[in-house]
Structure 1
Amino acid sequence: MADTADLPALRFLEGTGDVRRLMRERDWSTSPLGAPQTWPQALRMTAGLILDSGLPMFVAWGPGLGFLYNDAYSQLLGNKHPSGLGERFQSVWPEIWTDIAPLIDKALAGEPTMFENWPLVVNRHGYDETAYFTFSYSPVRDQDGTIRGMLCGAAETTRQVEAERQLRESEARFRSMADSAPVMIWITDPDGYCSYLNQPWYEYTGQTELEGEGYGWLNATHPDDRPEAEEAFHVANTAHLPFRVEYRLRRADGAYRWAIDAARPRFAEDGSYLGYVGCVIDIHERREAEIALRESEDNYRHVVELNPQTTWTARPDGHLDRVAERWREWTGTSGLGSSWGDVLHPEDLERSIAAWQDALSTGEPYDIEHRARMVSGRYRWMHSRAYPRRDADGRIVQWYGSTEDIHERKVGEEHLHLMINELNHRVKNSLATVQAIASQTFRNPVSWEHARQDFSHRLLALARAHDVLTEASWSGATLQAVVDRALAAHRGPGGDGQIVARGPLVSLTPKTALALSLALHELCTNASKYGALSVEGGRVVIDWTEEGPPTNRRLLMTWREMGGPKVTVPTRKGFGTRLIEKSLAGELDGAVALSFEPEGVACRIDVPSAGAA
């Protein structure tokens, strides 16, 4: 064959490809088409068109329908390639000629045809096989418009058809199986659209396919349950997670029965979400049984669990096999087995175990008080008791016990003992204070009558301080309350008048409150007799503040008199001075500085406050 570069008419054979190479190398003298350089322009153009196409194509030309095809079509020929290139169409496909001849005649008559998944029995690998093709036949005309041949575009669809057939068979088997299943089965698309419901669904609900598919299945749920069921389904479908919900489903007779609806997501091999396959099961009897069981358990709880005690049982070996839920509410543990010991106070654990072992070995009742750790981390006092149940032969078959919270009672008892001890201590302290006041007051008195009056007034000051503390349950008092009570007898009808007391809120211990009350009483008494409160224009200013770190807070208090008679320094310490120094400086680890300035007495007090560690 001549070089295609030398003949412009053969340019369509230039290029790559197995068929182009074969066409260039072929001896065309035996072909009904003749040599390519003699082919009409319409044939050369059509040949060039199919050779350049990536789709399976062939052209049959002339009276003998010479057969030309491209590389893609050669894959459909099997062992008919390359021998079929340039041969008569009928000799290439003799086994199917009877089937396709009428279609060829139509194309040659100017009528195009198109077929999808056309079955043909072909022999291209040495044996007959049924293959499926989608193809079209179209007429091909020459320059004058005369039909000279036909053009075919084809694609083998055997695998697709077989896959679809197998899918249909699989779906048929699935539907047969699903329709025979004792449960209701459903399938959804990725968007949640229900594309399939099996026959048991329609028989159970009375819905038709038109009513049930899509989202119509929700119409069969109870109106009160539908919002929850619908939301649960959509949330799970959006997240591609397993789905499970219980709701009441309307049966065909109109009765609503409890059902459980559960499904798992389906995924393709590439991981893409395909939707759900799920099932619905009637659980009405089970649900009714659960309700009956809950009612029975509720009755039990009212009898046992709601009892203020925690009931429990144990095997003969002491292993706890049932513990009321109240124990878990208390401690956060089950209490089963020997785990009850995990929450006992370390100081009570050993004796509690010993008492339980003794009861198990002797058969005597178990009775002990102990502390147990609550979920808050705090310990509370408990009273645990247990008694054995024996069989006809006297063998222990079960222990029945209870644990009662006695914390308030126990704390009350401890508080009572503490109060008694505290009362003894306070009475002793009060008697010691009275004794000290009496000793100082009646030691070498100038006048017994004056001494008696002073002693009475001092006892009243002490009583007023006790009143302040009693109002606070002897937990302490505020400085303002102590000052107000101590100064009440020395203030005029107008209130503060000659006395000004100011400072922040300061808490005092009982001991400090008593000492300051007596000190303020002495200062007021002295000011009323000899100082600023003895004249109409005199004034007393009391200032205080609190300083120091949190662990060592101290009260700094200043008493200043002004506008009174001129003050002279006393030649000896009076009882008031000694009482102030003894009670504040000596007993409270404080500091007292009394100064007798001409313009008025000043007293500076530095003592611990309640904030001190």
Structure 2
Amino acid sequence: MGERIRNHDWAATPLGPIDAWPQSLRTLVDLMLNARQPIYIAWGPALTSLYNDSYIPILGTKHPDALGRAYAELFAEIWDEYRPLVEATMAGEAQHLIDQPVPLVGRPGRPMSWFTFCWTPVCDEEGEIAGFYCAATETTERVQAEEALRESKEEALRESEMRYRALFQSMGQGFCILQLILDEHDKPVDYRYMEINRVFEQQTGIKGALGRTIRELVPDIELFWFDIYGHVALTGEPARFVNHAPSMGRWFDVYAFRIGQPHERQVAVLFNDISDRKRAEEALRDSEVRLRQVQEAARIGSFEFDRTTGKATASPEYLDLYGLPAERAETFSYEEWIGLLHPDDRARIESETRTAVADPACFQLDSEFRIRRADTGEARWITARTKLLRDPAGRFLRSLGAQWDVTAEKTVEAALRESEERYRSFIAHSSEGIWLLEFNPPLDTSLSVEEQIDLAYRSGCFVDCNDAMARMYGLARAEDLIGKTLDFPLPASDPEARAYLALIIRSGYSITGVESVEHDADGSRKYFANSMIGVVEHRQLKRLWGIQRDITDQKEAEEQRTLLINELNHRVKNTLATVQSITSQTLRNAETAAEAKTAIEGRLFALSRAHDVLTREN
């Protein structure tokens, strides 16, 4: 870039030839070119652009034509949004933005980028502000990684809610399920609250919402809520956003996603009332620049320590976090902070802090720990991010810290673990077989029954089960069944097995108490009573949950009972035939009724004695 700047036709720009540049601009450009950080300079009335090599990736395809162009022309896509910041900077107010989203053009594959940058106003030889100096760092990958982490946690929470509804009611976030109401043109015009959790009223201020529509509850509700939730319901695309609801006097941080079948038009909404946070952010804009930017990034409290002067400064939010009075802002010391750490975390955090300060290559320290509030003694979880500022020799000079309370998140994580433990304990102690089958790739339920059966054998695999389930198939433990395909308990060549699978498919993957005949690991026939339910999304069967009971002994007992009844029936008929023959022969040869009676009784007694002999001889 030094070569490009020397060879550029500056006479065609408002800056004029390089020889005519003021010394202040020359010095600033030298400083920029020698910096390894991405640097950009805007100079003169037109804010003409100069930048170094490290800034080129930020410009993307705009380079090299960006050199010498006016700021408003070079960044036309953001000029309307950033004009007030530019004017404030040129009026002498430095800017420092952390993790700022910027929709830059010229960066293929990145419609939105995130940056941490500082704008410093620079004066010319007459003492007038002639431009500004921008030092920037791209944070896109970190911001996106943090966003992905948050989304994965929410997905885990939704999975756990399916098993234990109690967790749904223990959430600190507001939650509701909406039924969208459309007009004749399929345009959302209202929505009804089908389900809410216990903190819904606390988060929204709305009472008696269950079963009622939003227009009944808030007649002047803003139209954009219908547009956002309607788009989620109609397209299935989730939405994460922060919006102001003037009609309710609140700000909300919202994550909305479709649930159920598309035709049901239902949307689940996780949200937090962040009105207090928004009000705090507005108040921070009037505070000192060094603390304001850190607090905007951390959204809670900031702390600064100068090793040279030994002076420490804490924001009101930071003091509130620790339960300290506001007048301690200038006197809260490092030793007092250590004293408020939870005893179980104190030694670890002290060691990590000492190590980070002593390491000249360490410029940031991220940590998570518990504290005990000074006023109530309550234990709270804290996440801290500390920037370590050093001199050129690597000696620690100053630290800027941001801390925020993550107790609610920790509580949800603990509830998730407890929920998982309850589930594991339940299936481990159940005498019935419990299993989970996953289909990879998912099973297309729009295919014919035979096609679905063939695909099921190829893609179905046991990913979870209990020991009771394994023992039903002659295996020692659950691990011996996990990983096996559907072909193991239901041989593909068995017509009964295919008929059983066809029954499951025609039921829509939801059956109760249906019997099946299968084979265990030794090939023995087993009889089971089955109940199962499938997880189908967008006509794709992804998972199949099942509970089955071994009824082999019951079936064999029924077969034995049938055999004994048939044998008894046969023997009784034979005995009756014998009695009939005795009676007929006696009556034919007897001369009187009395003689016949005596002869029949004698012969029946003889028959009885013969049966007694058989009984004694087994």
- Whether TM-score is above 0.5 comes out as no
TM-score (norm 2): 0.35
Which structure has more relative contact order (CA 8 Å, sep 6+)? It is 2
In our comparison, the structure showing a higher alpha carbon Rg is 1
TM-score (norm 1): 0.35
